[in-house]
Amino acid sequence: MSRVVVITGASAGLGEQIALELGRRGDSLVLAARTLEALERVAGAAGARTHVVRADVTRRADVERIRDEALRVFGHVDVWINNAGKGIVRPVLSLTDEDVDEMMAVNLKSALYGMQTIAPHFMARGTGHIVNISSFLARVPVATPRSAYSAAKAALNTLTANLRIDLRRTHPGIHVSLVMPALVTTDFPLHATGSAGAVPPGAIGSPQTPQTPQDVAVMVADLLDHPVAEIYTNPASRALAARYFDDVGQYEAEGPGSGSPPRPVQ
Active site residues: 149, 153
C-alpha pair distances (Å), 193 with each of 91, 98, 139, 148: 12, 11, 21, 11
Q: What are phi and psi of 251, to 5 degrees?
A: -60, -45
153: closest CA among 120, 181, 186?
Answer: 181
**Measured distance CA(59)–CA(197) in Å, rounded:** 28
**What are the residue ranges of helices labelled H in 47-92?**
60-74
**Measured distance CA(163)–CA(178) in Å, rounded:** 11
**Measured distance CA(165)–CA(137) in Å, rounded:** 23
Q: Which helix (H) or strand (E) holds 14?
A: helix 13-24
**Measured distance CA(96)–CA(251) in Å, rounded:** 29
C-alpha pair distances (Å), 204 with each of 24, 51, 66, 197, 235: 33, 37, 35, 14, 17
The amino acid present at 84, given as its one-letter code, is: A
Looking at the DSSP assignment, which residues form a beta bridge with residue 131? 81, 177
